[in-house]
Amino acid sequence: MKNPRLFISVFLILACFAWTAQAREFNPAVIYQGNIEKNSFNVSIHRGVERFRKKTGLDCTETVAGLDMDDYFSSLRSAAEKGHSPVFLLYGNHIPKLVDFVRQYPATRFIVLDTMLDEPNMFSFVMAEHEGSFLAGALAALASTSKQVGFVSVVDTPFQRRFLCGYSQGAHYINPDIKIFEGFTGDYPGAWFDGKAVAALASDMMDKGADVIYQAAGGAGPAVLEAVAARGKLGIGVDINQNGLYPGSVLTSMIKRTDKAVFAALMLAKRGIWRDNYKRLGLAQDAIDIVFDRHNQSLVTPVMRDRIEKIRKDIVLGVIQVHNYNENIKCP
């Protein structure tokens, strides 16, 4: 038992040394799409970069590219050609032909978020959104009186389905007979900011009887929470704490501490630790969570809270295995 592990460790360390030798100097670059302030995801990443700067005193180049994919790609190329390494691929799950692109720059290290690809110069940082979504689903099932809950998103990708799948597992864990409505507005320009479309979808679900709706709709998401609050139902926020947007109507928010992931990724790169090209951050790391604060205090009873804490503990310890949709593109 011990020897094979030792062997692998030695092999990995040697491999690391080999890679470190051929890799370039630490000169990180982060390229945003659109702008920083208006996108909560970008804000979160920027916060991580700022913390890195403050703590280490080292610089990290930040570039903002246009929403157009070609524009984004040319920014990436220019960063790689200028000798930046590592280069952050922030929207890994949206970038087409990522593997082909990465292979064009074997001397550059890429750090990708939310996507896992097995390439030697690619380092994946994955947030276990399915774990947080599981808790959101469990809480939704505990709070729902109609025993019908909804999920609203925009583009139907495996990445978005991961939220849905975790949510559905959590809801079924509490109540195997619960009814789950799912809806995607589709892929079209500006879809991620089309609040009307997602709100219409949510209204439709509420008409059918859903009384808790979880939105994983990016910039369009707050419109869902607004629609739900207007009808006296409960919404669940995503990415950042949205409990305070409509106090008393947002059951909880499934938060992702992307800033923590970015900070940790920069630190790992700075220290030259590329031992395994995959890091996963979830409930156990406090990088994913659902939020309980004063805004949803009246919605969550101590008994519900207690139940959630127990489920969280079981997930962390592996007693409850939350299936990751991306592993086999299937949901149990």
Partner 1 sequence: MPRKISLKIHSIAFYFIWVLMAGLLVPMAAGMIITMGQQKARLQKELDEFHRESLATLTKNIEDTLVSFLPEGVKNTSGILLKDERIVAIEVYSDIYDLYLFRVSKETSVRPFNIISLTQTVSSDNEILGHVRIDVDRDWIRPMIQKEFIHNIILFATMFAGGLALILPAIYHKILKPLNLLMDQAEILSKGRLDAACSWEGKDEFSMLGGTLDDMRRRLRQNFELMEEQAVTDELTGLPNRRGFTMKVETLLCLCTRYGHDISLAMLDLDHFKCVNDTYGHGIGDEVLKAFSGTILERIRKSDFLARIGGEEFVLVMPETDLKTAENILNTLRKQVSRRDYPHGKTLTVSVGVTASYGSQELNQLMALADKALYQAKNQGRNRVIALSKAQKE
Nearest distance, CB of residue 252 and partner 1, angstroms? 15
Using the structure block, give the residue that is written with the tokens 């469990």.
Answer: 138
Indicate whether 116 belongs to the interface with partner 1 (CB under 8 A): no
What pairing do the DSSP bridges indicate for beta strands 148-153 and 61-65? unpaired
Going from the C-alpha of 152 to that of each of 45, 198, 239, 280, the distances in angstroms are 24, 7, 14, 25
User: What's phi and psi for 53, nearest 5 deg?
Assistant: -60, -45
* Binding residue for partner 1, selected from 264, 269, 299, 320, defined by CB under 8 A: 264
Strand partners, 85: 27
Point out which span in 74-82, 173-181, 204-212, 260-268 binds partner 1 (CB under 8 A). Answer: 260-268
Is the Cβ of residue 8 or residue 329 nearer to partner 1 in the bound state? 8
Distance (Å, whole) CA 259 – CA 41: 9
Under a CB-based contact definition with an 8 Å cutoff, are residues 28 and 267 in contact? Answer: no
Is the Cβ of residue 63 or residue 285 nearer to partner 1 in the bound state? 285
Nearest distance, CB of residue 282 and partner 1, angstroms? 8
The interface with partner 1 within residues 279-318 (CB under 8 A) comprises 279-281, 284-287, 302-303, 305-306, 309-310, 312-313, 316-318
Is the Cβ of residue 68 or residue 309 nearer to partner 1 in the bound state? 309
Nearest distance, CB of residue 7 and partner 1, angstroms? 16
Return the percent helix, strand and coil in the chain, to nearest 5: 45, 20, 35
- Per-residue contact flags (x/-) with partner 1 for residues 49 to 68, judged by CB under 8 A: --x---x-------------
The pair of structure tokens assigned to 154 is 């925009």
Nearest distance, CB of residue 191 and partner 1, angstroms? 33
Under a CB-based contact definition with an 8 Å cutoff, are residues 240 and 185 in contact? Answer: no
Nearest distance, CB of residue 37 and partner 1, angstroms? 24
Nearest distance, CB of residue 55 and partner 1, angstroms? 8
Nearest distance, CB of residue 275 and partner 1, angstroms? 5
Distance (Å, whole) CA 150 – CA 201: 10
- Find all residues with CB under 8 Å of 274, minimum gap 6, and list them: 16, 19, 20, 23, 109, 123, 268
Distance (Å, whole) CA 127 – CA 117: 14
Is the Cβ of residue 216 or residue 240 nearer to partner 1 in the bound state? 240
Binding stretches for partner 1 (CB under 8 A): 51, 55, 260, 263-264, 267-268, 271, 273, 275-276, 279-281, 284-287, 302-303, 305-306, 309-310, 312-313, 316-318
